Amino acid sequence: MFPQPLPALAGGATPPTVNIGDIQNTGFDMSVGYRQNINNNLQLTVNTNITTYKNTVMDIPGPGYFDTGSQQQLGNMVRNQEGHAVSSFFGYEVLGLFKNDAEVTASPTQTGAAPGRFKYKDLNGDNKINADDRTFLGSPNPDFTYGLNLGINYKSFDFSTMFYGSQGNENINALKVNTHFFGTYTGGKSKDLLNAWTPQNTGSNIPKIESANNFSTSRVLNTFFVEDGSYLRLRSLILGYTLKPALLQKYGINKLRIYCQGANLFTVTKYSGLDPELGGNSSGFGIDYGNYPNDIKNFLFGINLSF
pLDDT at residue 282 is higher than 90:
no
Determine the average pLDDT of the residues in 160-173. Answer: 97
Quick one: pLDDT at residue 7? 62
Quick one: pLDDT at residue 82? 95
Quick one: pLDDT at residue 5? 60
What's the whole-model pTM score?
0.89
pLDDT at residue 239 is higher than 70:
yes
Give the residue, 5 or 228, on which the prediction is more confident. Answer: 228
Quick one: pLDDT at residue 184? 79
The confidence band for 253, taking pLDDT boundaries of 50, 70 and 90, is confident
Domain map (residue ranges) of the chain: 28-92+134-180+218-306
User: Tens of pLDDT along 84-109?
Assistant: 999 999 999 999 999 999 999 999 99
Determine the average pLDDT of the residues in 214-220. Answer: 96
Task: Say if strands 22-37 and 42-59 run parallel, antiparallel, or are unpaired.
Answer: antiparallel
Quick one: pLDDT at residue 281? 75
